[in-house]
A and B are shown apart, each in its own frame.
Chain A
C-alpha cells in the first residue's frame, strides 16, 4: 500500500491510470493506431462504437484464439454426449425395444450433435468474457467524454501500466498524431 502511494506521488494527488484522446472518424483513428503501434506502445487500445475493419492490422494485433477454446469444448460435448448415451442405454439401463441395437451411433447422433452445439455455444460466450477481460471497472470510465465511445466517438486510450507511459509525453504524442480532447484518466 505504502509502495503504491510512493509510486503515485503524494498521498493526496489523484492516481493517474492512463491517457485518453479522441479522433474524428474511423480513418483518423486507424492512422493514429498505426502510429501508436510504430511508436512501440504496448498497453493501449482503440475504442469505436462498432468494429472497424483493418484495425487489428493497424494495431498489430493477432487473430483471436477463441475458436480453439470453442473447438476443444465442442469435442468435449460430442464425446461426453456419446459416452452418456452409451453408458445409460447399453450399460446401466439396457432396454430392448423392437430388437434395436443397444448402442447405435445413428440413433444417438442427434443428441450428440445437440450437446456439441450446446457446449460450443456456452464456451463461446463464457470464453468471450475472459478474452475481452470482462470487468465492471476500467480506467477509461473515469472520463466523462468516453460516454461517446458507444455512440459516435473514436478514442485511443493508453494505460499507465505501459512501460513508455509518461503523463506529459504521452499526452503530447497523442496530440501530435491528431488526437483532440486529450485528458488524463484520473480517479476522482
Chain B
C-alpha cells in the first residue's frame, strides 16, 4: 500500500519539470567558457569599436559642453523664470529611475528567491551604476557655481556654515550618494568569484589584474559562508534603500508648495515609475546583448524576457493608476488651482508631451497581455524603447507643471536650447561608453550564481544521471 503510494507520488514529481533557467545543457565548464570567452577574446569585434567611437564622441561632447556651462553659466539652458527646473532635473530623475531596476533585480528578486534573476543581475547592476553616474552629474552641474558644490556636504569650513538638513535637496545628495556606493559595492561583491574565475584562466599581466580584483578569492566554503551572509545582508539593505531613494527624489517635488507636486502619492508613484523605466532599459540592453553575443541567449532566455515583460506590464499599470488617481484627486479636492494644473497638463500647450507619456507608459505595455507579443523579441525591443521615451516624458510633464503657476502674468513657455538637447544626448553617450567597456572587460553574466542555480549544483540532485549512464 505505502509502496504504491510512494511510487505514484514520485511519478507525479517526475512529470513536473522546473523551467530551465539555462538553455543548451551546458556543463559548469561550458558556462565558464561561454561567459569568460567574451571577455578573453583578443579580436575585439568591429561593431564594438564603431559603437564605442560614437559613444565616446557623444560623451566627449558632454564634457566639452559642461566646460562651456561652467564658463558661461546655466543661462545656456532653456531654464527661465517660471520653469526654474528644466531638462537637467528631468534628466536627473530619468537616469536615477533607470538605475532602480538594477537594484530591484539584484536585491528584491534575490530576497524573493527568483532564480531567473541570476542571468540578468550582473548587467542590470552595471546599468544601475552607470545610470546613477549620469544622474549624479545633472544636479551637480545645475548648482550654477560649481566651485562651491562642496557646500552640499557637511564639511567644517572657515565660514562656520553648515548645510540645511531640512531641505529635500540635501536629502537627495545623501540618498543618491548612498545609493551609488551601495550599488557599486553590491556589484563588486557579486563580481569577486567571477574575477577569480578569470584569474585562474588568464596568464601574464591580466592574471595579476584579475588576481588583484578577486581579492585572493579561493572558493572555500569558509569564504562562501560569509560571502552568502554578506550577499543576503546587502540585498536586505538595498531593498529598503531602492524604495527610499526614489521616494526622496519625489520629495524634491512633493515638499514644495506647487500644485500638481504637493501630493502624498508622489513617493510610491515615483518608485513604480522608476522600476518600470529601469526594466525597460534592462530589456533594451538585454536584447542588444543577445544580438551581439549569441552565447548569451542561453542565459538571457526568451522566458527571462517574458518575465521582465510581465513586470513592465504590472508597473506600467501602477503608473497608469497613479496618473488617473492624480486626475481624480484634483477633481475631488475641489481646488481650482489643482484642477487647472491637470487640465493644463492634458489639454494645455504641452498636451502632446502628456499624451506621449500616456501612450508609451499605459497603452503600450498592455500589449504584453498576449503571450505571442511578450515572447516576440522585436515587439519587446520596440516596446522597451517606447517605455524609455515615455518615462522621460513623464518627468518632462511633471517638471513643466511650473510653466503656468499661480499668476497668469508670470506664465511662460519653456523652450529647450541646443545645449539642453546636447546634454541629454551627451549623457547617453557617457552611459553607453561605460556600458560598452563593461560588456568587453567584465563578465556580463554572474557565472558563479548561474552555476549555483543549475540542477547539477544541488548535492541532492539525483545525479549524475549522465555519469552513471556513461559508466553503465
Q: Which residues of A contact B (CB under 8 A)?
A: 24-27, 29-30, 33, 45-56, 59, 61, 63-64, 66-67, 70, 84-85, 88-89, 92-93, 95, 97, 100, 104, 107-108, 110-111, 113-115, 117-118, 120-122, 124-125, 127-129, 131-138, 140-141, 146-152, 157
Closest A residue by C-beta to B163? A88
Most buried by B among A64, A124, A127, A135: A124
Please determine whether B165 and A89 come into contact, CB atoms closer than 8 angstroms: yes
Most buried by B among A27, A88, A146, A151: A151
Known contacts A24-B467, A138-B216; A132/B164 CB under 8 A: no
Select which of B154, B216, B219 is within 8 A of A48 by beta carbon.
B219
> Interface digits, B225-269 against A, CB 8 Å rule (1 contact, 0 not)?
111111001100100110010001001000000000000000000
Most buried by B among A54, A66, A128, A149: A128
Judged by a CB distance under 8 angstroms, whether B223 is at the interface is yes
Closest A residue by C-beta to B233? A124
Judged by a CB distance under 8 angstroms, whether B377 is at the interface is no
Beyond A118-B177, A128-B226, 13 extra complex contacts between A and B, CB < 8 Å: A26-B457, A47-B219, A49-B447, A63-B225, A85-B165, A108-B166, A110-B175, A117-B178, A122-B181, A124-B189, A132-B217, A132-B220, A150-B219
Please determine whether A111 and B457 come into contact, CB atoms closer than 8 angstroms: no
Closest B residue by C-beta to A64? B229
Most buried by A among B166, B230, B452, B461: B166
Known contacts A24-B467, A66-B226, A100-B166; A147/B200 CB under 8 A: yes
Please determine whether A120 and B463 come into contact, CB atoms closer than 8 angstroms: no
Task: Specify which chain B residues have a CB less than 8 angstroms from the CB of A140 in the assembled complex.
Answer: 218, 220
Known contacts A24-B467, A26-B457, A150-B200; A47/B229 CB under 8 A: no
Known contacts A50-B448, A51-B228; A150/B197 CB under 8 A: yes
Select which of B154, B188, B189, B220 is within 8 A of A45 by beta carbon.
B220
Please determine whether A110 and B463 come into contact, CB atoms closer than 8 angstroms: no
Task: Specify which chain B residues have a CB less than 8 angstroms from the CB of A25 in the assembled complex.
Answer: 456, 459, 463-464, 467
Please determine whether A118 and B181 come into contact, CB atoms closer than 8 angstroms: yes
Please determine whether B451 and A49 come into contact, CB atoms closer than 8 angstroms: yes
Task: Specify which chain B residues have a CB less than 8 angstroms from the CB of A108 in the assembled complex.
Answer: 165-166
Judged by a CB distance under 8 angstroms, whether B201 is at the interface is yes
Task: Specify which chain A residues have a CB less than 8 angstroms from the CB of B226 in the assembled complex.
Answer: 64, 66, 128, 131-132
Please determine whether A150 and B193 come into contact, CB atoms closer than 8 angstroms: yes
Closest 7 CB pairs of A and B: A152-B28, A50-B452, A88-B162, A64-B229, A147-B200, A51-B224, A131-B226
Task: Specify which chain B residues have a CB less than 8 angstroms from the CB of A134 in the assembled complex.
Answer: 215-216
Known contacts A49-B219, A141-B218; A117/B182 CB under 8 A: yes
Task: Specify which chain A residues have a CB less than 8 angstroms from the CB of B121 in the assembled complex.
Answer: none
Closest A residue by C-beta to B202? A147
Judged by a CB distance under 8 angstroms, whether B222 is at the interface is yes
Please determine whether A122 and B459 come into contact, CB atoms closer than 8 angstroms: no
The smallest C-beta distance from A70 to any residue of chain B, in angstroms, reads: 6
Please determine whether A121 and B218 come into contact, CB atoms closer than 8 angstroms: no
Closest B residue by C-beta to A140? B218
Please determine whether A151 and B218 come into contact, CB atoms closer than 8 angstroms: no
Select which of B174, B240, B449 is within 8 A of A115 by beta carbon.
B174
At the interface, is chain A mostly helix, strand, loop or mixed? helix
Please determine whether B221 and A46 come into contact, CB atoms closer than 8 angstroms: yes
Please determine whether B227 and A128 come into contact, CB atoms closer than 8 angstroms: yes
Closest B residue by C-beta to A66? B229
Bound Cα distance A33, B182 (Å):
35
Select which of B196, B221, B241, B467 is within 8 A of A51 by beta carbon.
B221
Please determine whether A132 and B227 come into contact, CB atoms closer than 8 angstroms: yes
Known contacts A27-B459, A66-B229, A114-B178; A150/B217 CB under 8 A: yes
Interface residues of B in 424-472 (CB under 8 A from A): 447-449, 451-452, 456-461, 463-464, 467
Closest A residue by C-beta to B172? A110
Closest A residue by C-beta to B224? A51
Task: Specify which chain B residues have a CB less than 8 angstroms from the CB of A24 in the assembled complex.
Answer: 464, 467
Please determine whether A147 and B201 come into contact, CB atoms closer than 8 angstroms: yes
The smallest C-beta distance from B151 to any residue of chain A, in angstroms, reads: 12
Select which of A51, A54, A149, A152 is within 8 A of B218 by beta carbon.
A149
Most buried by B among A85, A120, A135, A150: A150
Task: Specify which chain A residues have a CB less than 8 angstroms from the CB of B164 in the assembled complex.
Answer: 89, 95, 97
Closest B residue by C-beta to A132? B223
Bound Cα distance A89, B189 (Å):
36
Closest A residue by C-beta to B183? A121
Task: Specify which chain A residues have a CB less than 8 angstroms from the CB of B237 in the assembled complex.
Answer: 117, 120-121, 124
The smallest C-beta distance from B119 to any residue of chain A, in angstroms, reads: 14
Bound Cα distance A131, B225 (Å):
9
Bound Cα distance A29, B178 (Å):
40
Task: Specify which chain A residues have a CB less than 8 angstroms from the CB of B174 in the assembled complex.
Answer: 110-111, 114-115
Most buried by B among A29, A64, A141: A64
Select which of A88, A124, A151 is within 8 A of B230 by beta carbon.
A124
Task: Specify which chain B residues have a CB less than 8 angstroms from the CB of A157 in the assembled complex.
Answer: 220
Please determine whether A152 and B32 come into contact, CB atoms closer than 8 angstroms: yes
Judged by a CB distance under 8 angstroms, whether B27 is at the interface is yes
Please determine whether B189 and A48 come into contact, CB atoms closer than 8 angstroms: no
12 A-B contact pairs sorted by A residue (CB < 8 Å): A50-B448, A51-B227, A67-B229, A89-B162, A97-B166, A117-B240, A118-B178, A128-B189, A128-B230, A134-B215, A149-B219, A150-B197
Judged by a CB distance under 8 angstroms, whether B29 is at the interface is yes
Task: Specify which chain B residues have a CB less than 8 angstroms from the CB of A148 in the assembled complex.
Answer: 200
The smallest C-beta distance from A97 to any residue of chain B, in angstroms, reads: 7
Known contacts A89-B165, A111-B170, A128-B227; A49/B28 CB under 8 A: yes
